Structure 1
Amino acid sequence: MNKALMGGYGVALIAVMLALCLRASSEQLSSRECENLGFTGLALCSDCNTLSEYVKDKELVSDCLKCCTEDSNDATTKITYSGALLEVCMRKLVFYPEVVSFIEEEKDQFPSVQVQYVFNAPPKLVMLDDFGHQKETIRIDNWKREHILQFLREKLKPKPLASN
């Protein structure tokens, strides 16, 4: 084979490899795979880009990008829920002081949020529709109390005021 022909194959091979790498890095993972990695699917892709500025772990950022939601202003970002279950393992609560703080000091602001103690469960919010059916599960292991508050204020429908 002549060198020009081999050079063309080399360029084509590199192009194919690059395309495969880009495709692999942009693949989406299932919600279970993301949850096992500690991602909820609620992270916006712009959050992953911000993460990459502070955390130099390329694999972590790649996993984040595989589990994130594209930033948008469409109706899906405006979804609200009728209630929520905060599931947590009572034995593991000691490892989650922010969740404990929320339960003890802030939970009463949200009458539609119920705390449920589930053996060996990581802290998570199970969002419920009008019929009490589970619609979305969000892990909150590393959330600060103020993040839990903000999320619930944005995602829970306000309770109608009782009329006299």
Structure 2
Amino acid sequence: MAQIVVRAYIQIPTLREADPRIERQMSPQIQSRRCLFLLFVVAAALLPVALSRDQLSTRECEALGFTGLALCSDCNTFAEVLIRELLCAELVSDCLKCCTEDSDDETSKITYSGAVLEVCMRKLVFYPEIVGFIEEEKDQFPSVKVQYVFNSPPKLTMLDEDGQQKDTIRIDNWKREHILQFLREKLKSASSK
């Protein structure tokens, strides 16, 4: 449904390009009604997408250009900008499928049994905060393992009781104290001390 709406709107600018007088002949009231109508159409198109949001895998999101760092509230802000710029809704749909839910009471209570800090050895020089954590702070967390994977961005893979992957969080721009705070809050062994 969103693609049909977008395609219908994309054809409108080509009409304006063919005859620029069309834009000048519109009264401000017609322009504001038109903008309000388009806002309603895009919002109606995005509503089912937001309600039935299927999460994509990390690889699918990376293939679409999303790093996994975006919060869902960022996608909503992104949608507002796209509506103002009258760009396609498919991008917002992909963003919503790849975002991380904003922190609320339910997600803040989730804890994990362990974690794997995955990073590329060659890229490590670009992340002094992560190097500092590995060299000086990692020993505080016996359930955290460091894994060096070629060309991998820095990320924490959170594990359940069975050692299975539950969540993956990119930590490219995290400071050492943010990593420490996150692990203290989220790891069961660290939070029980």
* TM-score bracket for this pair, using the shorter chain length: 0.5 to 0.7
Q: For residue 108 of structure 2, what is the aligned residue in structure 1? A: 77
Correspondence for 2:24: none
19 and 44 in structure 1: CA distance in 2 versus 1, 3 angstrom threshold = closer
Flag structure 2 segments of 5+ consecutive residues without an equivalent.
1-26, 83-90
Counterpart in 2 of 1:116? 147
Equivalent residue in structure 1 for 2:118, among 76, 81, 87: 87
For residues 186 and 72 of structure 2, the distance between their equivalents in structure 1, rounded to whole angstroms, comes to 16
3-state SS in 2 of match to 1:90: coil
- Counterparts of 1:6-17 in structure 2 under 5 Å? 13-17=34-38
Moved more, 15-24 or 141-150: 15-24
Contact 1:40 1:137 in 2 (8 A): no
The answer as to 2:40 corresponding to 1:19 is: yes
Larger helix proportion of the pair: 2
Give 1:129's aligned residue: 160
Per-residue CA distance 1:7-35 (angstroms, 9 max, x = gap): 99977754431123445599567463379
**Do the aligned partners of residues 151 and 36 (structure 1) sit closer, same or farther apart at CA in structure 2, a change above 3 Å counting?**
farther
The 8 Å contact of residues 44 and 71 in structure 1, kept in 2 or not, is answered as no
Write the mapping of 1:57-76 to structure 2, written as runs, cut at 5 A. 66=96, 67-73=99-105, 75-76=106-107
- Cα distance change of structure 1 residues 71 and 124 upon mapping to structure 2, 3 Å threshold: closer
Higher RCO (Cα < 8 Å, 6 or more apart):
1
Aligned twin of 2:178: 147
Identity of aligned residues (%): 53
Q: Distance in 2 between matches of 1:36 and 1:157?
A: 33
Q: Post-superposition shift, 1:72? A: 2.6
Give the residue type in structure 2 aligned to 1:145: R
CA gap of 1:10–1:123, structure 2 versus 1, over 3 A, is: closer
Match of 2:5 in 1: none
Normalised TM-score (structure 1): 0.68
Number of equivalent positions? 141
- Matched-pair contact (CA < 8 Å) for 2:116–2:147: yes
User: Following TM superposition, where does structure 1 have runs of at least 4 consecutive aligned residues deviating by more than 6 angstroms?
Assistant: 7-12
